[in-house]
Structure 1
Amino acid sequence: MTVNHPSQGSRIVVLNRWSDGLATYHRYIDHAVHNVAYVCTPNGAAALRASRIAHVEQLSDILDEDALHEAVLACHEALGGIDRLIALSEFDLITAARLRNSFNIPGELPDTVVRFRDKAVMKYAVAAAGLRVPRFAALEDLAFPKPGAIDVMRFPIIVKPRNGAASIGVRRVDTRAQFDVLWPTLPLVEYECEEYIDGPVYHVDGFMLNGAFLIARASRYVNTCLQFEQGKPLGSVMLDLGPLNDALLAFAEASLRALALSNGPFHLEIIGGGDGLYFLEVGTRVGRGEIPFLFHDLYGVDLFDLWVAQQSGDEARFAAQAQAAIAASASPARGGFLMLPEPVGKVFVDAQLPQGIPALYGAVFPTRHHFFDGAGGYETTILARFRYRGASEDEIATAIHATLRDFRYTLAEIVTPALPG
């Protein structure tokens, strides 16, 4: 689909895999000024709300890189060139970098993005800077011809995809015998393993500008992302100002410096081990789930707006958003979130928002009769999502535990009609 308009601004291509409220790019890009084309799935195309779109290419599978390249080429021909390429999903960052390389588009290129997508590469870089990382190895480096080098690690270990996200495909392996059974089932080039570090897991989120924090917040998880993938609730509490908060921010900044991130968003995870902080992993993207909503609701900072302005080269818009972030960075407000995973195979009937929890200010539930098919994730349909704000870490943590205690909901089974005898 192509609509021809006179060129007034930049020629921008957006890779969109979202089909919900995250697909509202018209909030960030002036489609009346810029010629904007989209590459997306049919559901993603249906979610676009801009009144003026220069071109749309629809793909059944946005992960098909050959088809994606052809779609971007079609956008290039429709727009008469491409000035900027925008991708906001972690799963599209490395592909977008390769497309920029192929079409000579400014922005992050593969040699930069790989440090923030490949978990083995990022740990090598952070360890080389003298920061703690768990003992780790790329599985392809262990095959000589058997995984003997695994003996240098202490079990349990965590085996995970090198380019994965949201703990998808992550496994905890408690013994060498379990590892030997798992080993032949994995594509070795795609996986790494690391020692399990017992301790609280933290995350630091924000935006970097010229090698320093524009805004950043340190939080501690309630349970872990891996436990959420296994069916347990996942929560997060922003930390109060103090020594732990300062140490986490300093460790995060040193890690990002080791990875040479000068500008852009980040979501970085850290483990508090018995002998200090350990780098876990990082992504150069806006944190998932409720994190962008908290930054917007608590501080008036839209991390996606900042990121799109950076990727699109809109210097005036970026400057205005950056000033707002600087002003908000000193705010004492603290917040948190709670997400309940989907009960796969059940049907949602209704839910009652817990009462008497002052810090709880927002909740998202599925629509009535929604069937939980196992496709839910941080941003898609899960059982419930809760957001909190307050004056202290303790207030938020207390509110999360009260929600877990008092939340009531009703589920139903799928009724299958009996076959005639």
Structure 2
Amino acid sequence: MTTNHPSPGKRIVVLNRWSDGFGAYQRYIDHAANTVAYVCTPSSAAALDASQIAHVEQLSDILDEGALHRAVGACSAALGGIDRLVALSEFDLLTAARLRNSFNIPGDLPDAVVRFRDKVVMKHTVAAAGLRVPRFAPLEDVAFAKAGSTNVMRFPIIVKPRSGAASMGVRRVDTRSRLDMLWPTLPLDEYECEEYIDGPVYHVDGFVVNGTLLIARASRYINTCLQFAQGKPLGSVMLDPGSLNSALLEFSAACLRALALSNGPFHLEIIGACDGFYFLEVGARVGGGEIPFLFDELYGVDLFNLWVTHQSGDEARFAEQAQAAFIASRSSTRGGFLMLPEPVGKVFVDARLPYGIPALYEAVFPERHHFFDGAGGYGNILARFRYRAASEKEIATAIRATLRNFRYTLAESVAPASAG
């Protein structure tokens, strides 16, 4: 624990689990005008600018809700109360909502956040509004053949954690016998299953203000997040203006209205089936991977800045940023990304950036001798590429060219190795 003298302004507590540039909250919160405290892990504390921080609580496990509650209580005692609580990781949103409830802090509360964290509650809510969702059920209902589950569920099905993210722990199950082998290995009350719906998968990302889309972009996935977790490349192409783009935005707006998202970012996934759109899932948070970089670099809209400004209660600054985002939303520029998964067990030696791809404007590779340990997620992966162009077709062409022409070298160990 460390404590500095507090400054005037709002008393803000930040839950930070990030140890990279995402943990640089001084970009978004004026630490001189506000009294700011942090609850973080020892590794994420290293990302903070400690010079203007009023108080720090370090926890070995930020998921330990009892310890987190005590740490926030210590922040409250040090600050003389808490006016706002900021949390940006999807895994902290529901915990932050419960903390707001306990400490009487304004902001999103559990009954609102649970609709975006529990996939069963989420789909019930969307379906109740008359929107298509895949057939779904809690896994315990299917495992024990409860009425209304297996008799309407068709295989293949997708089994996933009810509060997971980034396709972690997601499995496709093709037969009942395979499900019977799987379900005894899982905590049933923490999982749900849903009918597999064939069709392209789209994602819509943006920010909502007062229940209205402030800025939003609809994109088509190349492969899926589940396939990326299984070792395949994941790409995304922003759609051109037109009937498909408009329909996806309208469907997304209807889903967000059903879920009562009034203010904040969202990452929403939709299946385009032969009989129409199906709601897949949504997070009330900034999309992962390259999405925040594209919004910032293509449109000058930092979605994290908008979100932190809203959560911290800086109304004047939020209004100014929202106006700029609304103007940027009219831009005709389109973008996309490509992410290559980590080759687990290998060591990165070097890579050559493909030439002759005008839409490709950024590529990110690991440091030399980086060992791929399987914990890369969307961060420490083989390569990340970002694209900018005037049309959807140009972006898709550039991604295909990158997949064809990208060359890299891997090794079995840190010693010199041959080309991969």
Q: Which bracket does the TM-score occupy, shorter chain normalised?
A: over 0.9
Cα distance in 1 for residues equivalent to 2:290 and 2:148: 42
Corresponding residue for 1:295? 295
Contact conserved, 2:143 with 2:180, CA < 8 A, in 1? no
* Higher deviation after alignment, 195-204 or 1-10: 1-10
What secondary structure does 1:151 align onto? Answer: coil
What secondary structure does 2:215 align onto? Answer: strand
Cα distance in 2 for residues equivalent to 1:246 and 1:50: 46
Shift of 1:413: 0.6
Cα distance in 2 for residues equivalent to 1:106 and 1:22: 24
Corresponding residue for 2:167? 167
| 1:29-86 deviations in Å (ceiling 9; x for gaps) | 0000111111111110001135311111111111111111111111111111111110
Cα distance in 1 for residues equivalent to 2:153 and 2:67: 41
Corresponding residue for 2:410? 411
Shift of 1:128: 0.6
Correspondences of 1:88-107 after superposition (within 5 Å): 88-107=88-107
TM-score by length of 2: 0.97
Counterpart AA for 1:72: V
Cα distance in 2 for residues equivalent to 1:343 and 1:107: 41
Cα distance in 1 for residues equivalent to 2:148 and 2:282: 28
Corresponding residue for 2:255? 255
Contact conserved, 1:25 with 1:50, CA < 8 A, in 2? no
Contact conserved, 1:2 with 1:78, CA < 8 A, in 2? no
Corresponding residue for 1:419? none
Cα distance in 2 for residues equivalent to 1:174 and 1:112: 34
What secondary structure does 2:2 align onto? Answer: coil
Corresponding residue for 1:400? 399
Contact conserved, 1:26 with 1:50, CA < 8 A, in 2? no
Corresponding residue for 1:61? 61
Contact conserved, 1:271 with 1:277, CA < 8 A, in 2? yes
TM-score by length of 1: 0.96
Contact conserved, 1:342 with 1:376, CA < 8 A, in 2? yes
Cα distance in 2 for residues equivalent to 1:142 and 1:367: 46
Shift of 1:262: 1.1
Cα distance in 2 for residues equivalent to 1:288 and 1:77: 34
Counterpart AA for 1:250: E
Contact conserved, 1:31 with 1:50, CA < 8 A, in 2? no
Cα distance in 2 for residues equivalent to 1:47 and 1:7: 21
What secondary structure does 1:152 align onto? Answer: coil
Correspondences of 1:321-360 after superposition (within 5 Å): 321-360=321-360
Contact conserved, 2:129 with 2:258, CA < 8 A, in 1? yes
Counterpart AA for 2:235: G
Cα distance in 1 for residues equivalent to 2:181 and 2:150: 14
Contact conserved, 1:238 with 1:336, CA < 8 A, in 2? yes
Cα distance in 2 for residues equivalent to 1:93 and 1:320: 25
What secondary structure does 1:218 align onto? Answer: strand
Aligned pairs, number = 415
Cα distance in 1 for residues equivalent to 2:361 and 2:50: 30
Corresponding residue for 1:28? 28
* Higher deviation after alignment, 148-157 or 212-221: 148-157
Cα distance in 1 for residues equivalent to 2:231 and 2:169: 14
What secondary structure does 1:112 align onto? Answer: helix
Contact conserved, 2:6 with 2:54, CA < 8 A, in 1? no
Shift of 1:143: 5.3
Contact conserved, 2:4 with 2:53, CA < 8 A, in 1? no
Shift of 1:377: 1.0
| 1:388-407 deviations in Å (ceiling 9; x for gaps) | 00000000001011111111
Cα distance in 1 for residues equivalent to 2:17 and 2:221: 27
Counterpart AA for 1:265: P
| 1:83-129 deviations in Å (ceiling 9; x for gaps) | 11100000110111111111111110110000000001010011111
Contact conserved, 2:347 with 2:414, CA < 8 A, in 1? no
Corresponding residue for 2:418? none
Change in 2 beyond 3 A, CA 1:368/1:415: closer
| 1:129-158 deviations in Å (ceiling 9; x for gaps) | 111000111123345567983232111000
What secondary structure does 2:203 align onto? Answer: strand
Cα distance in 2 for residues equivalent to 1:34 and 1:276: 49
Corresponding residue for 1:368? 368
* Higher deviation after alignment, 106-115 or 72-81: 72-81
Change in 2 beyond 3 A, CA 1:415/1:361: closer
What secondary structure does 1:150 align onto? Answer: coil
Counterpart AA for 1:174: D
Q: Does 1:43 align with 2:54?
A: no
Cα distance in 2 for residues equivalent to 1:336 and 1:148: 41
Corresponding residue for 1:274? 274
What secondary structure does 1:402 align onto? Answer: helix
What secondary structure does 1:12 align onto? Answer: strand
What secondary structure does 1:149 align onto? Answer: coil
Cα distance in 2 for residues equivalent to 1:252 and 1:135: 19
Q: Does 1:158 align with 2:170?
A: no
* Higher deviation after alignment, 304-313 or 71-80: 71-80
Corresponding residue for 1:17? 17
Counterpart AA for 2:225: C
Q: Does 1:388 align with 2:411?
A: no
| 1:185-233 deviations in Å (ceiling 9; x for gaps) | 1211111100000100000000001111000000010100000100111
Contact conserved, 2:2 with 2:57, CA < 8 A, in 1? no
Cα distance in 1 for residues equivalent to 2:83 and 2:257: 28
Cα distance in 2 for residues equivalent to 1:151 and 1:48: 53
Contact conserved, 1:17 with 1:62, CA < 8 A, in 2? yes
Contact conserved, 2:31 with 2:53, CA < 8 A, in 1? yes
What secondary structure does 2:399 align onto? Answer: helix
4+ runs of 1 displaced by more than 2 Å? 1-7, 140-149
| 1:222-248 deviations in Å (ceiling 9; x for gaps) | 100000100111110000000000010
Change in 2 beyond 3 A, CA 1:24/1:192: same
Counterpart AA for 2:403: L
Contact conserved, 2:208 with 2:214, CA < 8 A, in 1? yes
Cα distance in 1 for residues equivalent to 2:414 and 2:57: 39
Change in 2 beyond 3 A, CA 1:376/1:415: closer
